[in-house]
């Protein structure tokens, strides 16, 4: 484990913003989005106080407030506005389906959700809003901003001049954000990250990869994911770099042109997205990048080669993380980029491997450090701490002598489809709900476009994807949980215990895939 000064991470999120403003200059421009109206540190702090004061009027200190916003200036200002007045942002995944969204609000005790009319209209999220309004008070930021008057602006100006005197004092160990793991449409797990967790992970990354304060970060990843929140927003802002926020990674044609136009140096993406950006980009649109940071799924050799051939030697830095780790655990470096690995452990992270039967040369990874979560939310709203601070990642890895990590496989039955974690068990439950009298098994196979794809093996002779999709839409389950390929068999192989024989299922899929691909 490389040394890390945890004392430097003993800060609240808002105090880390104030410290960065003092270090890099109040007038330095550090936040922008597609509206192209960049904010300085002072603008961000004033905006946070002005908006936060209004939000504080209908919430209470320590309250968990839902945030359903895209990656944008408004989303980041709202995040800091809640912190300025001691509220806890609960970042809601608006792509996870109605059931997951409602379960997340119920688990965290969210009574108020902040969103925007424009976002709801553009995203066609009216069904989500209707569902949330049965549980919470949905507040639109445009309506809040209309109520900002002269006295509010004077307050924000005074608070901007003396932010430490005006902000609500908090302890760094208190909750800094609540995020939700994406376990398909099963009940999501609430991850409680402290202020010091978030600040520490930013400091760890900065110690691992030195950053130039003249650089621009381009973040199209959602801020309801820890990768987009910490890596794409907090890290650059705390480190003196401009963070350009873009609302969706799915805008394949628009993003490469904006990367060039914003003079971005660092792009955050997944293998799926960078591959698509590279294919649609015009010559030169991505060639100005210093490097790309990739997570959530394995980076293919094809993607490395595509970027090199079309745009030159731009390092694609594959990393590895978990929401529970704020999220970065390991990442490659521009000066030491080892293909096939997910990089070196960040400073301050302890790791241990537990043997996994049948998988030689590695073990199940457990990690501990200043970035590891406070714990999971329990049904009663309390936080369940980790045993002795160790987080079980559920991933099987090997570690080199200098702590470079190579992923060998996953213990848990999850797949990553388009960068999203999808529960194979939940996909089976979906089939069981549609055809309850039959047996079903779901496995994942590599997919050149989405990282992995789900294959359903079933003894239902007339099974089809349309029935699965219709049921998923009916119950509000995400489409990613629906297997798009179906293999029909006489019977599902089982073990002597009656459990599904997954190695046998895998052999069936391997033999049949040429006919269903």
What is the mean pLDDT of the segment spanning 350-372? 86
pLDDT value, residue 213: 96
Provide the percentage of residues in the chain whose pLDDT is more than 70. 95
The CA-based angle 319-11-373, given to 5 degrees, is 45
> Taking 90 as the threshold, does the pLDDT of residue 452 lie above it?
no
Confidence of residue 499 (pLDDT cuts 50, 70, 90): low
Q: Where are the domains of the chain?
A: 6-399, 414-516
The CA-based angle 427-66-199, given to 5 degrees, is 95
List, for residues 289-334, the tens digit of each pLDDT value.
999 999 877 787 888 888 999 998 999 999 999 999 999 999 999 9
User: Is pLDDT larger for residue 447 or for residue 92?
Assistant: 92
Confidence of residue 187 (pLDDT cuts 50, 70, 90): low
pLDDT value, residue 182: 59
Question: Computed from CA positions of residues 322, 326, 327, 332, in that sequence, does the dihedral angle turn out positive or negative?
Answer: negative
Q: Between 424-434 and 465-475, two packed helices, what is the crossing angle to 10 degrees?
A: 100
List, for residues 71-117, the tens digit of each pLDDT value.
999 999 999 999 999 999 999 998 877 888 998 999 999 999 999 99
pLDDT value, residue 419: 73
> Taking 60 as the threshold, does the pLDDT of residue 515 lie above it?
no
pLDDT value, residue 494: 65
The answer to whether 264 and 244 are in contact (CB under 8 A) is yes
Note the helical H segments in 57-133. 73-84, 98-108, 117-123, 126-132
User: Is pLDDT larger for residue 177 or for residue 515?
Assistant: 177
Quickly count helices (H) and strands (E) in the chain. Answer: 18, 26
**Lowest mean per-residue pLDDT among 186-195, 395-404, 412-421, 477-486:** 412-421
Nearest to 231 by CA among 301, 334, 329: 329
Confidence of residue 497 (pLDDT cuts 50, 70, 90): very low
Nearest to 421 by CA among 429, 412, 409: 412
> Taking 80 as the threshold, does the pLDDT of residue 357 lie above it?
no
Give dist(CA 425, CA 432) in Å, integer. 10
**Lowest mean per-residue pLDDT among 197-201, 263-267, 504-508:** 504-508
List, for residues 215-248, the tens digit of each pLDDT value.
999 999 999 989 999 999 999 999 999 999 999 8
What is the mean pLDDT of the segment spanning 501-517? 77
CATH code of the region 6-399: 3.40.50.12780
pLDDT value, residue 5: 82
> Taking 90 as the threshold, does the pLDDT of residue 489 lie above it?
yes
Provide the percentage of residues in the chain whose pLDDT is more than 90. 66
User: Is pLDDT larger for residue 448 or for residue 61?
Assistant: 61
pLDDT value, residue 408: 75
Dig out the tokens for 445 from the structure. 């196979």
Confidence of residue 186 (pLDDT cuts 50, 70, 90): very low
Half-sphere exposure at residue 247, Cβ-oriented, CA atoms within 13 angstroms: 16
What's the chain's average pLDDT?
90
Q: Which residues pair with 268 in a beta bridge?
A: 293
User: Is pLDDT larger for residue 119 or for residue 413?
Assistant: 119
CATH code of the region 414-516: 3.30.300.30
Q: Between 41-56 and 73-84, two packed helices, what is the crossing angle to 10 degrees?
A: 60
The answer to whether 185 and 425 are in contact (CB under 8 A) is no
Nearest to 230 by CA among 324, 317, 297: 324
Confidence of residue 412 (pLDDT cuts 50, 70, 90): low
């Amino acid at each position: 484990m490389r040394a890390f000064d945890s004392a430097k991470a003993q800060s609240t999120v808002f105090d880390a913003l104030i410290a960065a403003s003092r270090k890099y200059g109040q007038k330095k421009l550090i936040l922008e989005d597609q509206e192209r109206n960049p904010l300085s540190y002072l603008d961000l702090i004033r905006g946070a106080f002005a908006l936060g004061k209004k939000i504080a009027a209908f919430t209470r200190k320590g309250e968990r407030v839902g945030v359903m916003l895209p990656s944008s200036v408004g989303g980041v200002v709202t995040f800091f506005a809640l912190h300025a007045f001691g509220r806890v942002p609960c970042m809601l995944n608006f792509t996870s389906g109605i059931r997951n969204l409602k379960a997340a609000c119920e688990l965290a005790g969210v009574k108020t959700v902040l969103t925007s009319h424009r976002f709801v209209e553009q995203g066609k999220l009216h069904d989500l809003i209707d569902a949330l309004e049965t549980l919470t008070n949905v507040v639109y930021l445009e309506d809040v901003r209309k109520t900002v008057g002269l006295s509010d602006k004077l307050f924000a100006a005074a608070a901007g001049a003396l932010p430490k005197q005006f902000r609500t004092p908090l302890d760094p160990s208190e909750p800094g954000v609540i995020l939700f793991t994406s376990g398909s449409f099963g009940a999501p797990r609430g991850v409680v990250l402290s202020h010091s967790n978030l600040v520490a992970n930013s400091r760890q990354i900065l110690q691992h990869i030195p950053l130039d304060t003249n650089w621009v970060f381009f973040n199209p990843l959602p801020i309801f994911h820890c990768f987009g929140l910490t890596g794409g927003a907090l890290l650059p802002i705390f480190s003196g770099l401009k963070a350009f926020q873009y609302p969706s990674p799915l805008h394949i044609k628009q993003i490469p042109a904006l990367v060039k136009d914003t003079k971005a140096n660092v792009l955050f993406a997944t293998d799926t997205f960078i591959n698509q950006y590279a294919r649609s980009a015009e010559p030169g649109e991505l060639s100005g990048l210093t490097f790309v940071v990739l997570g959530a799924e394995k980076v293919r050799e094809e993607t490395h080669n595509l970027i090199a051939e079309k745009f030159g030697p731009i390092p694609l830095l594959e990393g590895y993380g978990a929401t529970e780790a704020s999220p970065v655990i390991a990442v490659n470096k521009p000066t030491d980029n080892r293909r096939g690995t997910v990089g070196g452990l960040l400073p301050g992270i302890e790791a241990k491997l537990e043997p996994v039967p049948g998988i030689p040369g590695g073990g199940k990874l457990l990690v501990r450090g200043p970035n590891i979560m406070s714990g999971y939310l329990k049904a009663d709203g309390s936080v369940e701490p980790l045993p002795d601070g160790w987080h079980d990642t559920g991933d099987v890895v090997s570690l080199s002598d200098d702590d470079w990590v190579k992923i060998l496989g996953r213990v848990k039955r999850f797949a990553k489809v388009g960068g999203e974690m999808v529960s194979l068990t939940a996909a089976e439950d979906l089939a069981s709900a549609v055809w309850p009298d039959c047996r079903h098994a779901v496995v994942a196979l590599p997919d050149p476009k989405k990282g992995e794809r789900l294959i359903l093996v079933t003894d239902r002779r007339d099974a089809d994807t349309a029935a699965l999709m219709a049921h998923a839409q009916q119950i509000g389950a995400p489409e990613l949980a629906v297997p798009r390929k179906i293999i029909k068999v006489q019977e599902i192989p089982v073990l002597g215990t009656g459990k599904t024989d997954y190695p046998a299922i895998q052999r069936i899929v391997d033999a049949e895939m040429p006919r269903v691909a």
